Structure 1
């Protein structure tokens, strides 16, 4: 018998992603965004464009962490770009089980001087998550600076 969802999350180990992981990273991101359709604006890029961006930009130029269960199934992705949490996505069936918290702790350990990130105003679950993890609101915008043109919030975290 296989591991339960909680068992898979408990066994999940983050590791640096390589170019060979690009398809898995892209699929976690795409499935997570589709599951959050009510909380985020519609995608402005096709799935093919996202896959290409992950392969040609994200993995080569950013610090990408892929969390996999004991069987090698991808469950979560963390992308750091300097002090920015550029992407944090968990497979939809595994949200709320602590993996996002583990990945944000990893981000804090990798960037002890501080972090910042953007999330959409409509993504209230993400806002609660980041506030719970010690982030504070730095600014709110009308969205004119993002591709989706949707109001967003910049959160910051600074070690005490």
Structure 2
């Protein structure tokens, strides 16, 4: 299978591709910008430098990491593993352009038997996004099981 997903977003040159070592820093920066914009009330347990180190040392080399590349600029990142979307973040300026939809379609292709993910309860735009893609909320927690100690929601998609 090719590492580049077919198709492009209307009106742009966005390509979904597997992340390489040189994408770790830009992908971490997308994560940081997106987290700040989407989750301003959630306290991060890690500094910006620790997030960048984690992407460089763990996420990109050890996980199935995909980036959305717009003419050489990383504008989105998705991390998959064993039927799980563990991360899906878009640069704030790229929301609403279909890139997230394409990431979810790719995740469903890579995990045709089903997917699961966690999102924070305060992230209602994410809830709408995943529900629009056929995910169903199956559990709500008080946040005691995550590093941020933020209440979250478990979503699943079954074909």
In 2, the alpha carbon distance for the partners of 1:130 and 1:57 equals 26
Asked if residue 88 in structure 1 is aligned to residue 66 in structure 2, the reply is no
Asked if residue 7 in structure 1 is aligned to residue 5 in structure 2, the reply is no
Specify the alignment match of 2:5 in structure 1.
none
Q: What's the CA shift for 1:6?
A: 6.6
CA deviations 1:6-51 (Å, max 9, x no partner) are 733xx2000000112111111110111111134x512110000000
- For the residue of structure 2 that corresponds to 1:138, the secondary structure is strand
In 2, the alpha carbon distance for the partners of 1:94 and 1:124 equals 18
Q: Output aligned runs, 1:111-122, within 5 Å.
A: 111-122=111-122
Is the contact between residue 78 and residue 87 of structure 2 (CA under 8 Å) also seen in structure 1? yes
Q: How does the TM-score come out when normalised to structure 2? A: 0.91
Specify the alignment match of 2:61 in structure 1.
60
Q: In 2 relative to 1, CA 6–36 (structure 1 residues): closer, same or farther, beyond 3 Å?
A: farther
Q: What's the CA shift for 1:158?
A: 0.8
In 2, the alpha carbon distance for the partners of 1:7 and 1:50 equals 32
In 2, the alpha carbon distance for the partners of 1:42 and 1:145 equals 15
Asked if residue 21 in structure 1 is aligned to residue 23 in structure 2, the reply is yes
Q: Output aligned runs, 1:116-135, within 5 Å.
A: 116-135=116-135
Specify the alignment match of 2:146 in structure 1.
146
Cα RMSD, aligned residues only:
1.4
- Unaligned segments of structure 1, at least 5 residues: none
Specify the alignment match of 2:6 in structure 1.
none
Specify the alignment match of 1:42 in structure 2.
43
Q: Output aligned runs, 1:70-109, within 5 Å.
A: 71-109=71-109
